[in-house]
Amino acid sequence: MSLTMISARKLVLISLVALAVPALGACNTVKGAGKDIEKGSEAIQDGAEEVHDDITN
């Protein structure tokens, strides 16, 4: 292997690692947002069920 190919491989590896670190850190943010959205939708569903029960009773 030539020195240029080794340098190119190192550059690609460093670039991939540099891109992966923020992406992995964002997982917690997205996961937290998903949990918040889920709780909000559960509250809406509970409210809709209460209204349905009030209407039918």
Is residue 18 pLDDT above 80, yes or no? yes
> Length of the chain, please?
57
Write down the pLDDT at residue 3.
65
**H/E run at residue 15:** helix 3-56
% of residues, the chain, pLDDT over 90? 21
CA 1 to CA 9: how far, in whole Å?
11
pTM value is 0.49
Q: Sorting pLDDT into bands at 50, 70 and 90, what band is 48?
A: very high
pLDDT at 6 over 90: no
pLDDT value at 47 more than 70: yes
Q: Is the pLDDT of residue 38 over 90?
A: yes
Q: How many CB atoms lie within 10 A of CB 8?
A: 12
- The tokens for 21 are 């670190």
